Amino acid sequence: MSSVSNLPEVEFVDVAKQYGSGTVVLKGLSLTVKKGEFVSIIGPSGCGKSTALKLISGLTAPSAGTIRIDGMTPKNARETVSYIFQDPTLLPWRTVHQNVGLALELEGLGSKRRTEKTGPLLDMVGLRKVSSAYPRELSGGMKMRVSIARALATRPRLLLMDEPFAALDEMSRDHLNEELLRIRAEQNWTAIFVTHSVAEAVFLSTQIIVLAPNPGRVHCIVPVDLPLLRTSPLRTAPEFENMVAQVSYALREARLQ
C-alpha cells in the first residue's frame, strides 16, 4: 500500500448512464466511498448495481457526470483495482496456480516472482494442495476461491465484487463470507460488493447503499453498526437480525418508489 491520500477511494458526482437503445440505467447518482470501507450495493433488479461496478472499473464510460478513483479516472486507476465476477471466470486450460498468477503475468512479471507471490495467496484461500489441478476438477466454492486469490495477487487497493457468491449454496457462501472478512483484516483493501442478499450485505459491510430502480439512484445509505470482528455466531445475534430487518425495510421502500 503506497502513499495514502485523503481523497475518497471512489467518488460519483451526478453520474448518469444511458445505453444506446435509450434505456436510462442510472441517473443523478452521487456517492462517496471512503478508504477502508466495505460497501455493499443492494437494490431491486434493474437499479443498475452491476452497471455501477462497470463504471468504476472503466469497462464502460458514464453518459454524464464524473467518476474518480482516488482522484484518478477509472481507466488510470485500473492498476490499483481488481474485479471479481459473478462466475469464477477461470481459464480452463490453466492450472490453479497459473490462474492465480494471470494478472501478474499480464503485468509482465517473470515466472519465479509470480510463484513467490501466488504461493502465500494459495495458502490464504486454502488451495495449496490443489495448486496444479485444472478448474474442471474443482467445486464451485473452490473455483471462487481461485478467483479471489487471482484478484488479490496484484495487491489491489480497491476490490469490486459483482455478486461473487450468488451461484453457491448457502453453506459455501457463509463460509466464504467469513474468509473474505478474515483476508480483509490482513490486507485492508476497500471493497464494493454488489449482492441480492440482505443478510450477506449486513454480515460483510460497514455501509450499505440501497438503490432505487428506474432509473437507478441512491435511495438511502445505511451504516452497519456492528463490531468489526465478525464471525458466524453474529448471524444469530439480535442486533444482526435488527440490522437485516432495517435494510429489508429500506429495500422494500426502494422497490415501491
Partner 1 sequence: MKQKLSTAANAVAVFTALLVFWQVVLWVFHVPRYMLPSPRAVEHAFAERFPTLLNAVVITAEEALGGLLASIVVGVAIALVFAQYRWVRRMLYPYTLLLQTVPIVAIAPLILLWMGSGAASVMLITFIFSLAPIIANTTQGLVSVEENLVHLFLMHNASRQQVLFKLRLPHSVPSLFVGIRIACGISVIGAIMGELYAGSSRVGEGGLGYSIQYASAQLQTDYLFALVVAATVLGFCFFFLVSFFEWHFLHRWHESARTPEVE
CA distance 136 to 198: 31
The pattern of x and - marking residues 138 through 177 that bind partner 1 according to CB under 8 A reads ----------------x-----------------------
| Strand-strand pairing, 207-212 and 217-223 | antiparallel
Residue 57 interacting with partner 1 (CB under 8 A): yes
Greatest extent of the chain over all pairs of C-alpha atoms, in Å: 55
Residue 239 touches partner 1, criterion: CB under 8 A: no
Q: If binding is defined by CB under 8 A, does position 89 make contact with partner 1?
A: yes
Distance CA 28, CA 3 (A): 31
Report helix, strand or coil for 112: helix
Number of residues that bind partner 1 (CB under 8 A): 24
Quick one: which H or E segment has residue 52? helix 49-57
Binding flag, residue 107, partner 1 (CB under 8 A): yes
DSSP state of 10: E
Question: Cell 516472482 identifies what position?
Answer: 113
Among 7, 27, 8, 11, smallest CA distance to 66 is for 11
What are the cell numbers at 169?
Answer: 449454496
Beta carbon of residue 196, minimum distance to partner 1 (angstroms, whole number): 18
Per CB under 8 A, the list member of 7, 103, 181, 220 interacting with partner 1 is: 103
Contact flags string 119-138 toward partner 1, x per CB under 8 A: ---------------xxx--
User: What is the side-by-side order of every strand in the sheet holding 64-69?
Assistant: 24-33, 10-18, 64-69
- Closer of 3 and 93 to partner 1 (Cβ): 93
Q: Residue 87 CB, nearest distance to partner 1 (Å)?
A: 7
Q: Which of 105, 174, 178, 179 binds partner 1 (CB under 8 A)?
A: 105
- CA dist 80 and 151 (Å) reads 11
Residue 232 DSSP code: G
Phi and psi angles of residue 32, each rounded to the nearest 5 degrees, phi first: -130, 130
- Contact segment (CB under 8 A) with partner 1 among 75-83, 177-185, 197-205, 233-241 equals 75-83
Residue choice 22, 92, 227, 233 for contact with partner 1 (CB under 8 A): 92
Nearest to partner 1 of 89, 207 (CB atom): 89
- Residue closer to partner 1 by CB (options 12, 83) is 83
Least CB distance to partner 1 at residue 49 (A):
16
- Gap between the Cα atoms of 208 and 190, Å rounded: 14
Per CB under 8 A, the list member of 27, 49, 78, 219 interacting with partner 1 is 78
Q: What residues make contact with partner 1 under the rule CB under 8 A?
A: 57, 59, 78-79, 81-83, 85-87, 89, 91-94, 102-103, 105-107, 134-136, 154
